[in-house]
Amino acid sequence: MAAEWTKRLAVLAALFLLSSCYIPDKFRAELRLSRYGDFALSYKGDLMWAPILDDYRKGKVDPKDEAERIENIRKDLVRDIAFRKIESRGRGRFSVEYERAGRLGNVQLTALIRRDARMLALRSLENGAIIVAANGLKPSDAQILAELGLTMEGEFRVTTDANVVENNATEVRQFGTNRVYIWKIDNPLSPMPHLVMLRDPDPRRPLPPRASEMKN
């Protein structure tokens, strides 16, 4: 009995952490990042809203309220004008396309999707470093997600000509003067992308090429 209660508390703790969390799935995402801080970020794939997925699992989604709840999730996503497409696939899953570009200031935080619901963050620091980091989970929380049937399959790439001083990419490829850092995400237990680069102060160099222009 005590073991069952402990397990329930662990699930509730994980869901508390995920109470404002979108889960990526079946996705391809790319960040083109110049050594000067210019960036272009794209995401194409699915997003799932974690709390409603758990409610489906528990049979707590009332058919009378289901359409309204899904519409509220869509309204939350549409708040970000970088979404080019948002289509419900039912049961809290949305097929989306997202594109955002800009230039990081000396000290700035920008995120996919938003700061209060971010899956990926780009942070620039006064010392010239730029940190790219996906939100990660503790192994125990990731295991609970896996037990709940929440997958996170996809691929994330960073293409840059910058001086990268730290990364945990699955694979690194050379493409001309650029390097392509590739992360293969298989499940919630996969290492989440992390990369640190040092910015060059000259702001006039163009972005690296798109992944579609490269040979896989």
pLDDT tens track for 48-103: 888 888 788 788 999 999 999 999 999 999 999 999 999 999 989 999 999 999 99
CA distance 78 to 178: 34
Confidence of residue 188 (pLDDT cuts 50, 70, 90): confident
pTM for the model stands at 0.81
Q: How confident is the model at residue 203 (pLDDT cuts 50, 70, 90)?
A: low
Q: Using CA of residue 153, residue 27, residue 206, residue 199, what is the dihedral sign?
A: negative
Q: Which of 21, 27, 22, 25 is nearest to 156 (CA)?
A: 27
85 bridge partner residues? 97
Q: What percent of the chain has pLDDT over 90?
A: 58
Cα dihedral 111→116→188→70 (10° resolution): -110
